[in-house]
């Protein structure tokens, strides 16, 4: 059976979900829905169509490692990383409008589709750029070692 891993953004819109796929979410997605007062919708989905599964530690490590390489790690939540890792484990497509999730999915070779937004067209490798002197660092650097100013994220195509 074909399957889809749903990101929280895919469930916030209240749109109909594809009927010819197995639908799965991670524990983090369930928690995010509960936190946004969507418990009734979540309960209905869990009773009828959606399963909650946790990703393997192996896939989580791979997602984190690749996220550090592309610079997406600073932009992704732990739930985003769970979603990506579960898609790796199952070989399922991800449904998300989150461009950082799509970026890392693309780098990992995971298929994805948007729900309300267009999908990304190319992978971006993020760098940190000092707001003061302009020095460029790896994406995880938050403060410049030259002038002490904070950094901001800067993307470049891979």
What is the full DSSP assignment across 136-153? EEETT--B-TTT-PBEEE
| Whether the predicted pLDDT of 69 surpasses 90 | no
In tens, the pLDDT along 32-64 reads 998 888 888 888 888 888 999 999 999 999 999
Give the sign of the dihedral formed by CA 107, CA 108, CA 110, CA 112: negative
pTM value is: 0.81
Give the CA distances from residue 60 to residues 30, 41, 78, 88, in Å, rounded to whole numbers and listed in that order: 18, 27, 10, 9
| Whether the predicted pLDDT of 157 surpasses 70 | no
CA distance 126 to 158: 9
Which phi and psi angles does 133 have, rounded to 5°? -100, -10
| Whether the predicted pLDDT of 117 surpasses 90 | no
Contact 81, 65 (CB under 8 A): no
Sequence-ordered list of residues with C-beta below 8 angstroms from that of 142, at least 6 positions apart, any chain: 128, 150, 151
92: confidence class by pLDDT, cuts 50, 70, 90: very high
* DSSP SS3 for 57: helix
In tens, the pLDDT along 1-36 reads 599 999 988 888 767 777 889 999 999 999 999 888
E strand or H helix at 6, and its extent?
strand 3-6
pLDDT of residue 156: 62
């Amino acid at each position: 059976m074909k399957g889809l891993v749903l990101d929280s953004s895919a469930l916030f819109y209240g749109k109909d979900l594809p009927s010819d796929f197995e639908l799965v979410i991670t524990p983090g997605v369930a928690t995010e829905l509960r936190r946004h007062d969507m418990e009734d919708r979540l309960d209905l989905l869990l009773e009828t169509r959606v399963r909650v599964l946790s990703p393997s530690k192996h896939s989580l490590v791979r997602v984190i490692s690749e996220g550090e390489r592309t610079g997406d790690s600073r932009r992704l939540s732990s739930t985003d990383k769970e979603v990506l890792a579960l898609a790796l484990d199952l070989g399922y497509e991800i449904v998300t409008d989150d461009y950082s999730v799509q970026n890392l999915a693309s780098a990992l070779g995971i298929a994805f589709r948007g729900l309300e937004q267009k999908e990304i067209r190319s992978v971006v490798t993020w760098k940190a750029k000092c707001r003061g002197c302009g020095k460029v660092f790896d994406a995880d650097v938050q403060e410049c070692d030259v002038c002490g100013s904070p950094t901001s994220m800067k993307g470049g195509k891979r």
